[in-house]
Structure 1
Amino acid sequence: MANAAEDFSQFGISKEEKDKLVGELIRYMLFKTHQNSGCPIKREELTQLVTKNYHQRNLPTFVINEAKEKLSFVFGYEMRELQRTQPSSKARTQSSQQSVADSKSYILISQLPPNVYEKYVVDVNTAHLSGFTFVIISIVYLAGGKIPEENLWSQMRRMGLGETESSHPVLGNVKQAFELLVQQRKTKLMVLKAILYIMSLLREL
Structure 2
Amino acid sequence: MPLIRKRRAPVEEASEDEGTPVSEARTQQQSRLESPGSEADDYADGDQEGEVSSGSVEQLAKKLVRLALACEYARASIKRQDINTKVLGTRSKLFKPVFDEAQLQLKYVFGMEMTELPGREKVTIQQKRAAQKSESTSKSSNSWVLTSTLPAKYRDPAIITPPRVPTAATESAYIGLYTFITSIIYLAGGSLPEAKLDRYLKRTNADQSTPVDKTDKLLARMVREGYIVKVKERNDGEETVDYVVGPRGKVEVGEDGVAGLVRSVYGENAAEDLEKRIERSLGLGERRAAGPTAGASTQNGTKRGAGRQRRQPAEDGQQVEEDDSDEEEEE
Which TM-score applies when normalising by structure 1?
Answer: 0.49
Instruction: Please tell me whether Structure 1 or Structure 2 has the larger radius of gyration of its CA atoms.
Output: 2
More helix by share: 1
